Homo-oligomer: A and B are copies of this chain.
Amino acid sequence: MEKVKVIIMGLGAMGGGMADMLLKKQGVEIVGVVGRGKMLGTSMYDHISTPRGDREDVIVGAMEDVITEKAADVVLLCTDSFTRKAFDKIKFIVEKKINVISSAEEMAYPMAQEPELAKEIDRLAKENGVSVLGTGINPGLIMDLLVILMTGCCEEVHSILSRRVNSLSPFGPAVMEEQGIGITVEEFNKGVQEGTLAGHVGFHESIGMIADAIGWKLSAPITQSMEPIVTDVDRKSPYGFAKAGNVAGCAMKGFGYVDGELKIEMDHPQQIEPEQVGVQTGDYVIINGVPNINMVNSPEVPGGIGTIAMCVNMIPQIINARPGLHTMIDLPVPRAIMGDFRDLISEEAKIVK
């Protein structure tokens, strides 16, 4: 069998990390990279951690030049957070008869926020005989798939609390800005009111995925809240700085109601340097049910590595899947790939034979 052929679209922190990860794996190769602006014509190896060594070079190209019909088995699309912004790219790729894995948060469960686009993606994928999946660490695993898995050993579920207390310190300037790191409380509150602070994107997706998976019908629109985490001491991370009295993080909560009762709660405080002030980071799954579940992974799975690994590790599942739009709840569980990628691929599902 030919090696599994991957195109990476968007060579930022996520796409670049996926390239580095793929270069360590067997039975898989990067056959193209899509970028834009000044990156066009440069070597992929100029933008990632792995040195080129004696590998064949991969030159960053424009979408139309790199993504041609059946040029790869899968495109890892790492450019957006929102389905609406990713849609045209997904359409372009599936019409070239290539599978897609998107790291866009909304694509983890696009039926939550963009049901019409989700239907259209499903239709386009089926028409072209390929599959589309959105995944990542969150949404994608920690605050949804892991929760759903643990309900699997429950006879009854009364309510769910998913909590992710994580550090933003490893992240770069874009995340610092999205989360309001270093700004004043007044600026933060203004950003919340005006909708300019992004915070975490994913509660609609995680809550929607859990509710649909276990058969709860949400009786009201999902709501969320956003509060500043104000620091008492100066905190400094590689790309962020918060003076005492200013904002060191963004605490978000999300709420899903069934028959007027709060059934699914998300609690996700994100901040730089939590250890400095004695905050223990971790991922928590707390299920009030039969039996109760009281699970913690501490420290938390780091967001960057986790998203990179989830997107790469789902490559076999999305190649093997029946054509259409998929989500993490209808595919076999993600797993690390320590052997040859080809051992995991069905012959008949391979695009580049």
CB distance from A76 to the nearest CB of B (A): 14
Residues in chain B near residue A333, CB distance under 8 A: 145, 148-149, 152, 328-329, 333
| Residues of A289-327 whose CB lies within 8 A of B | 289-291, 293-299, 301-302, 305-306, 308-310, 312-314
Q: How far is the CA of A308 from the CA of B310 in the complex (A)?
A: 30
Binary per-residue interface labels of chain A (269-303) against chain B in the complex, 1 for a CB within 8 Å, 0 otherwise: 00000000000000001000111011111110110
Asked if A238 is at the interface (CB within 8 A of a chain B CB), the reply is no
Q: Judging by beta carbons under 8 Å apart, are B295 and A296 in contact?
A: yes
Binds B, one of A115-123, A124-132, A338-346: A338-346
The distance in angstroms between the C-alpha atoms of A336 and B291, with both chains bound, is 11
CB distance from A255 to the nearest CB of B (A): 18
Interface residues contributed by chain A, number (CB under 8 Å): 58
Contact B153–A145 (Cβ < 8 Å): no
Per a CB cutoff under 8 Å, which of B141, B152, B216, B305 touches A313? B152
Candidates B155, B328, B337; contact of A21 at CB < 8 Å:
B155
CA distance A145 to B330 in the complex (A): 16
Q: How far is it, in angstroms, between the C-alpha of A167 and the C-alpha of B255 when the chains are bound?
A: 35
Is A349 close to B, CB under 8 A?
no
Seed contacts A151-B336, A155-B308, A296-B297; 10 additional CB < 8 Å A-B pairs: A24-B155, A24-B156, A148-B335, A152-B310, A152-B335, A154-B313, A157-B338, A285-B297, A293-B297, A329-B333
29 pairs of residues in contact across A and B, judged by CB atoms under 8 Å: A21-B155, A24-B155, A24-B156, A141-B152, A141-B153, A142-B153, A145-B149, A146-B149, A148-B335, A150-B297, A152-B334, A152-B335, A153-B305, A153-B313, A156-B336, A156-B338, A213-B335, A214-B336, A215-B336, A215-B338, A215-B340, A216-B338, A289-B336, A291-B305, A295-B295, A296-B296, A329-B333, A329-B335, A331-B332
Closest 8 A/B residue pairs (Cβ): A215-B339, A152-B334, A151-B336, A295-B297, A153-B306, A215-B338, A154-B336, A157-B336
